[in-house]
Each structure stands twice: as structure tokens, then as C-alpha cells.
Chain A
Amino acid sequence: MVTARDGRTTIAEASTQLPLRPLRPSISFVPYRTVLLSTASLLIAFCIWQLLSTVLFNPFLIPPPLKVFRTAIPMLESGEIFADVSISMIRVLVGFITGSLVGVLMGALLGRIRLLHDLLDPIIELLRYLSPTAMIPIAVIWFGIGEMSKYFLIFWGTFFIVLINTTAGVWRAPIARQRAAECLGANRLQIFVLVVVPSAVPYIVTGMRVAMASSFMSIIPAEILAADSGIGYLLQKSSMLLQTDRIFVALLTICVLGFIVDRIFRLLVDRVLARYMSFVSQT
């Protein structure tokens, strides 16, 4: 093979692009070993927790696991915890779904229309550093302590994450795929809707998963500072009354809830969007 005459590397044909290929999340197959190790991991954590609360620290500061469970049972039976959970969940879902919708729509346009991107990108790059928590004080003034302020805060957090991921995904839709569609006779709108946006689905889904986790993190401070219901409010109220056991119940609830919601999200993606999540390796 002949390369460049004077040993320089030539650049003209080096522009073939390598799209990112995230692994498809697989939850359908959980090996026996993993189940065993997960159980062990939880058991060990409980033992350490027990030790910390009884031997090393004051059981009032760190209530032991059994005490926490004993506190949790009446809260579960009376339905008190479920009321708080469902209130928080509805807030998260409303904010998350609207934020994702607007984020995907705007992200798709920004990824496609250069002028719009160049015009809005500087503002987005600045605004995205305003976390939902930073927006709580002004949200309370704008929307009061009712539901709207919580919807707004979750929307705010979700929107930027989904927007940025969607823009990146649309931007990175393989050129070859778009050009091939163009040759086949697709018009610009068809290329956008039938080729570019579906190509961005893995990026969009990743953005939404991150945004879901972030929503769970933002709803708590929002409810602590500006609510009279929800898990965050439960935390706040228990703290005021120095009920550490109830605080721990609320904290555990957040952990379990986040985990379950992420699993459900992945299951839905696996069911509905599986074919858009598969990537073809570079031959």
C-alpha cells in the first residue's frame, strides 16, 4: 500500500465518524450468583448498621434497623406513608413527563437547526447550572407552596438534562444513515422524523433515566422547604420532632422508591423501545 509520499498522514478521508455505542441495559436475565451477592450485600449492610447504632454511636442518633422496621409497620398500616409517597410520586411524574416532553421536542429542534442551537446554546449553558434546589426560593414566590411550584421545580431539573441529551443524540445521528435515506428518496422531514429522531432514542432514554434520578433528588429539598405533604415534608416534620426513627423510615422509602421506579422505567424501555436501543457494531 502506498501512503502519503513524504510520510505525512493524509486527512481527506479520515472523517468517518464513530458513533457512541452504549450497552443495552439488560434486566431480563439475572443470574443466580447476582441474586445471592445482592442479598449478602444487603445483609452485611444491615449488620454494619446494627453495629454502628448499638456499639459505636447512640441508638437515638442512628436508630437500629429493627427499631426502624417497628416504626415503619404502623406507618404502613395506617397508610400514612403511602399518602406521602403518592403525593411525592405524582409531583415527580408530572414534572418529569412534561419536562421530558418539552426537552425532547426542543432538543430535537436544537440538534437539527444550527441557527437555533447557536442562538439558544449560550443561555442553556448558563441556566443549566441553576439546580432545582437553587430555584426553590423563587419558585415559592412565583407559584406559592402548592403543587405548581413542585411541578415547576421537577420540570426545571428534567428539562435541561433531557434537552442536552436529545440535542447530542440528534447531532450524532449517523451521516451515512441520513444520506442513504436521502438517496432512497426521503425528504427532509422524513429524514428527521423517520431516521434522525429514532437514531437519538438511546441518548434520549439515557437522559431521561438521569433526569428521573435527579427528580428524586430534587423533590425532597423542595418538599422540605416548601410543602405541607410528601416524603420531604415527612422528613422535615420528623426532624423538628427529633423522631430519628421516622426520619430513617422516610430515607429508606426514598431509596426503595427510586430503585423501583428506575426498574419500572427500564422495563418499559425494554418493552416499548427495545428495537431502538440496539446498536450495530462496526462490521
Chain B
Amino acid sequence: MLRVNNVRKVFESARGTYIALDGVTLTISDGEFVCLLGPSGCGKSTLLNILAGFDQATGGTATFDDRPITRASRERMMFFQDAGSALLPWLSAEENIRFALRVRRIPKAQWPAIIDRFLRMVGLDMHRAKFPAELSGGMRQRLQIARGLAVEPQMLLMDEPFAALDALTRRRMHTVLLDIWQRIGKTIVFVTHDIAEAITLADRIAVMSVGPRSVITRLIDIDLPRPRDLTDLKVAQLFNEIEGLLAAPDETLTDQRMEMPR
């Protein structure tokens, strides 16, 4: 269980003070697939970095299984948009996973089975000897996912992992990710600015307002069966509703912000 309570994040710089998050509250249960949705600059990556433990909240609390998040942990695996820089380019696909198992101190005897399992899970077992530079963008992202899953985290934090992929590959990655999620049942917090992507994937969407002083303006439960067809009437209605929310005029956002506890 992940709990974010009234989190505030203030960045101090030479140019002045920037309040990125101002009272974000969110609870995510185990096994849930939650999308943080909002336009660029709404602080969703900031929030994700706090959840990962890379960054500390200025105010409020973030806890994982009732323990405060103070630093990065193997329980919460972050996946980055640019898989090319997240992976080790001097190691082959297989060696990248081996690196993870090594720093995780998993007994060597188990390595071959784990490597096989996760490379197969993302469909890269035929490409295990290739270096990241020899893989396509989608394959590289799948390798990052395989490497992250190989160390068995409790929770997957994904920062716009498919945003740089072409539409076709992205759709295929959605299928792959949902399939993996249904098989392993881990919690996923997925940051995106793409409404269609959020609707395709999530159990619940947390819509965030534009920064500064971002908050979660709305939590939307999606009870529709997967795979979800974007031309389906209910899905289309949901899409329009969220689009309307994101395009909301200033007044609405200000009103809601006033209601947030400080």
C-alpha cells in the first residue's frame, strides 16, 4: 500500500521559488494500476520521483507499506522514458539483466533461469546477445522492463515509458505491459500525458492540474473490461470527460485548489 498525504514540493533556485506540488493526496493499493495523467509541467514526474525516493517531499508524507519513503529502494523500481540511457550500453541484453542480479546479490545458480524467464516474458530471448544500440526503441524499453522485473520489485514506477515510441509500437507495448501486469500482479504507477494511454491501461486515473501548485483534481475509476476499445461509446465518453477536465478554465482549478487542505 502506497500512501501520499498532502505532499508539497518546493524547488528553490537562483531564479526564485517554484511550488511544483501543493497538497497531493493519493492512496494506491497493492496490485492496482494507477495512471498519473496531466499536461507537461504538472509535476507528475516530480511526484513519481518522490514515490521512488529520488527526491524528498518538502511537506506532507509519502509512505510505502507504512514506512516513510526516504530513499530509493529495490521494492520500488523506476522505469525511465529513455531506456537507452537507463540501460548499460556496454552490456548485451543478457548482461544487463545479469548486472541487476549481481548488484541484487541473487545466487549465481539462479541466474540462467531468471534471465530466460524475463527475456522470454518481453519477447527478447532471441536477442539476448545484442547490445542496446542494436535494439529498436521498443525492444530497448522491453529490455528495461525485463531488467527491472528480474529483481522482483513490489511496485513499478513508470515515467512516460512509451512516450518516445511510434504509435504502433506503443500500442504493442500496452498489450505487453498489461499482459505482464496481469501475470505478476504488481502495483504499477504510470505517468503519462496521453489520455488514450491512461484509459487503455489504468484501473484508476489521477488527473493532475497544471503547475505551479499542482494538485490531483480528480480520481477516476475505470471499471471497463480490457482490452478497451477507444471507439467504444463508454470509453469515448470517458475520454471526452477527461479532456474537458484537462481543458478546464482557471477558475475551476482555483476553486478546487482552495478546498485542498494546506
Contacts and interface: CB of A to CB of B under 8 A. Distances in A.
A194 B104 contact: no
Interface in A3-20: 3-5, 9-14, 16, 19
A185 B54 CA distance: 13
Greatest chain A CB density within 10 A among B52, B100, B103 is at B103
B224 interface: no
Interface bin, chain A: 35 or more
Interface in B209-233: 210-212
Interface in A163-222: 174, 176-177, 179-187, 190, 194-195, 198, 201
Given A179-B72, A183-B74, A4 B41 contact: yes
Interface in B37-77: 39-46, 52, 54, 72-74, 76-77
B86 A177 contact: yes
A74 to B, nearest CB: 50
A1 interface: yes
Nearest to A10: B41
A16 B103 contact: no
Interface stretch (B87-95, B116-124, B180-188, B198-206): B87-95
B64 to A, nearest CB: 13
Interface stretch (A27-35, A145-153, A252-260, A272-280): A272-280
Contacts of A181: 99, 103
A177 B72 contact: no
Contacts of A185: 74, 100, 103-105, 151
Interface stretch (B25-33, B107-115, B129-137): B129-137
Nearest to B162: A283
A1 B41 contact: no
Contacts of B100: 184-185
Most central of B54, B72, B83, B212 by chain A CB within 10 Å: B72
Interface string B129-164: 001110001001100100110010100000000001
Given A179-B78, A279-B133, A1 B147 contact: no
A11 B104 contact: no
A78 interface: no
A281 interface: yes
Interface string A40-65: 00000000000000000000000000
Interface residues of B, number: 57
Nearest to A175: B85
A169 to B, nearest CB: 14
Given A12-B18, A183-B72, A184-B100, A283 B210 contact: no
Contacts of B137: 283
A282 interface: yes
B210 A4 contact: yes
B90 A198 contact: yes
A41 B87 CA distance: 44
B41 A278 contact: no
A280 B87 contact: yes
Given A184-B99, A184-B151, A283-B140, A10 B210 contact: yes
B42 A12 contact: yes
A14 B41 CA distance: 8
B1 interface: no
A276 B144 CA distance: 19
B132 A5 contact: no
Nearest to B151: A184
A1 B77 CA distance: 29
B83 to A, nearest CB: 7
A282 B41 contact: no
B84 A12 contact: no
A12 B20 contact: yes
Given A1-B39, A14-B40, 15 more contacts: A2-B246, A4-B41, A5-B210, A5-B250, A11-B41, A12-B20, A12-B41, A12-B45, A176-B86, A177-B87, A179-B72, A179-B86, A278-B90, A280-B133, A281-B133
Interface of B: 11, 18, 20, 39-46, 52, 54, 72-74, 76-78, 80-91, 99-100, 103-105, 131-133, 137, 140-141, 144, 147-148, 151, 153, 164-165, 193, 210-212, 246-247, 250, 253
22 contacts: A5-B250, A10-B42, A11-B18, A11-B41, A12-B18, A14-B41, A176-B80, A177-B85, A179-B52, A180-B148, A182-B54, A182-B72, A183-B52, A183-B74, A183-B153, A184-B77, A184-B151, A185-B103, A186-B103, A280-B87, A280-B132, A282-B164
